[in-house]
Structure 1
Amino acid sequence: MFRITTAFATLVAFAAIPAFADEDIADQYPGSVLYEKPVEVIPDVWSAIGATAPPTYENAGHNNNLSFIVTGEGVIVVNAGANAKLAQALHDEIKAVTDQPVKLVINENGQGHAMLGNSYWIDQGVEVLAHVDAAHEFEEYSAQIYDGMTRYARENAEGTVPMGPTRTFEDKEVITLGGKTIEVLYSGPAHSPGDIQVWLPEDGLMIAGDMAFHNRIPPIFEDTCTSCWIETWETVFAPIGATYVIPGHGYPTNMAQVEDHTIGYLKHLRGEVGKLLDEGGTLEDAYYVDQSPYAHHDTFEELATKNAGQVFTEMEFE
């Protein structure tokens, strides 16, 4: 189908190396607000890999993956970035790769690091696409999301104006550009409202958004349904049969790896919480359930305890 690039092989090898404390991982691209310089994952598909730490001043909020597809007739960007400066930095990198114009930006969900950069792209005359649920989520919480970003990003927040997408879809949108077919999919409930995936069927590559995590454990929010996430993965997402995956967070890899780091983690945590519930345990007990098989993953210290409490609250009423 395609040749695997040296960059992709290097990323896969790097992904197998145990990570150290999240906040101690140095910025990988000091000359830019981007955390890492974009790499070509497969021919014509690039991704600027974000930090596996939470959003901070040091990473300017670039803690998710900002990807772009060079089609021959234009560029499609996946994720607008957490602020206008990140969006502009990504655009500068795109211009260094190709003189093709950016034709479309796709928001992977309604979170800040997917949508707060929209204003930059809209000012460039670029359309922005998102799932209807993601658009509603951002509309409801955009002020709160923006305020949170300004607190950690400080001067890097300058020029950012909260804007939702310019158009939405519900189930699937197929884009044909430059002879390349790109399917924007809503597979079902997962990490957060309106999570979507970008599928390149001819290449066997999935830009998975927050359906998939790698190298770090996922945060479980108050409105995250972990049982729904598992069901969506097993009945819709996995059967697509992607060979290569650019996750929402973490390095590009394959389906087996992101399944272990995402669904493997959710199933483990639900199993431990389920045992606790069977024994009559309390919410306070849930914070201490065994999550040690995933303790070497980034964001474990920040998220494990909170995740256990959220899953207990969810499972208590199942």
Structure 2
Amino acid sequence: MVGNTGGTGIMDELQSTQDSAPIVDLAGICEIADGVWIIPDSHRIPLVPNIGIVEGKRSVLVIDTGMGPKNAEMVLNAATKIANGRQLLLTITHFHPEHGFGHQAFAGKATIFYNRKQRDELRAKGPGYLAMFRGFGENVAKCLVGVEFVDPDLVYDGSATIELGGREVELIEMGPAHSLGDQVVWLPKERIVFVGDLVETRVFPIVPYFPPDDADVNGNKWIKVLRRIMALKPKTVITGHGEIGGPELVEIAERYLTEMGQQVERLKNSGVSEDDIVAQLGPMIRNKHPDWREPNWVESGIRCFYSTGYNAGATETTQ
């Protein structure tokens, strides 16, 4: 099953009962630009993502579904009201449960459009992640009741441009990074980018490094992906979780991963063992960001860089 961490204890922390149910809050829906809506992670509840709805004259695009079919039905209802008869489309930033495990609610009601890696990763890992997330407590398990996996109607490779009618939206494949099929959704005219869990606000980057079952996360490529996003020169960044903001959020994530990779590589080259690096760097990194959530992911990030080595070059946050 996906989720074996080789005894690191990460999953033991994650599998403790979640106090708050990861329910999408439609009361917070807001229009951040003309025809660009978000259903935000208003209350910073774990496993509640920021969800996007983007309008065009002919079609309306939904970005991410929320955790499970009931959340997705609420998102679908909100999008249907906004669309008011226009065609609906659905895409996701990546396949993880709180972002994509509600897509069945959209089947037959929207055109579902993924990149090929997302589709293939969902097919390969979906059941394992479903079982793993059901172990995260009763509140999460309830949201995942009745989950069914459906294939997208359309897939693309590399990038795709969707013409919604007077508004172009670019889907850009970015994986492997946080996942194999990471995708950003870019609105070039408005300079708004939806980045999924490639960037989160005041959350330690989630590095799902679970060898031998899932070791596809790639810290070096993740750093390079963040630099690609920075090169787009976005004005508004819609993160996977937490408050939206500007390009500084991408810079913070890039700097964090770059510094971690460099520190791990330096100690590894000095002959320090993996476990000793975790013990040495972990507390230091956590203490540097006392207001960030999910400190359990620091360890998996260190172990990921130890496994792959660091080869992403120096930080490029000034570009």
TM-score scaled by length of structure 1: 0.80
Q: Which residue of 2 aligns with 1:39?
A: 30
Q: Does 1:293 align with 2:288?
A: yes
Query: 2:301 pairs with 295, 304, 307, which one?
Result: 307
Q: Which residue of 1 aligns with 2:263?
A: 272
Where in structure 1 are there 5+ consecutive unaligned residues? 1-22, 56-61
Please say if residues 161 and 171 of structure 2, whose CA atoms lie closer than 8 Å, have aligned partners that are also in contact: yes
Q: Distance in 2 between matches of 1:270 and 1:45?
A: 36
Give, in angstroms, the shift of residue 141 of structure 1.
1.2
Aligned length: 282
Give, in angstroms, the shift of residue 188 of structure 1.
4.9
Aligned amino acid, residue 280 of structure 1: G
Paired residue secondary structure (1:68) = strand
Query: 2:101 pairs with 108, 116, 136, which one?
Result: 116
Please say if residues 52 and 64 of structure 2, whose CA atoms lie closer than 8 Å, have aligned partners that are also in contact: yes
Please say if residues 73 and 100 of structure 1, whose CA atoms lie closer than 8 Å, have aligned partners that are also in contact: no
Paired residue secondary structure (2:197) = strand
Q: Distance in 1 between matches of 2:111 and 2:311?
A: 41
Give, in angstroms, the shift of residue 241 of structure 1.
1.3
Q: Distance in 2 between matches of 1:96 and 1:129?
A: 21
Q: Does 1:263 align with 2:266?
A: no
Q: Distance in 2 between matches of 1:272 and 1:209?
A: 26
Moved more, 265-274 or 96-105: 96-105
Q: Distance in 2 between matches of 1:272 and 1:53?
A: 31
Q: Distance in 1 between matches of 2:152 and 2:289?
A: 35
Following TM superposition, the consecutive aligned residue runs of length 4 or more in structure 1 with deviations greater than 6 angstroms are none
Q: Does 1:90 align with 2:85?
A: no
Q: Distance in 1 between matches of 2:124 and 2:236?
A: 34
Give, in angstroms, the shift of residue 101 of structure 1.
4.1
Query: 2:272 pairs with 274, 281, 293, which one?
Result: 281
CA RMSD in angstroms comes to: 2.7
Query: 1:208 pairs with 179, 195, 210, which one?
Result: 195
Q: Which residue of 1 aligns with 2:57?
A: 72
Please say if residues 51 and 62 of structure 2, whose CA atoms lie closer than 8 Å, have aligned partners that are also in contact: yes
Residue 223 and residue 92 in structure 1: after superposition, are their counterparts in 2 closer, same or farther (change >3 A)? same
Aligned amino acid, residue 92 of structure 1: N
Where in structure 2 are there 5+ consecutive unaligned residues? 1-15, 210-214, 313-319
Moved more, 210-219 or 145-154: 145-154
Moved more, 42-51 or 79-88: 42-51
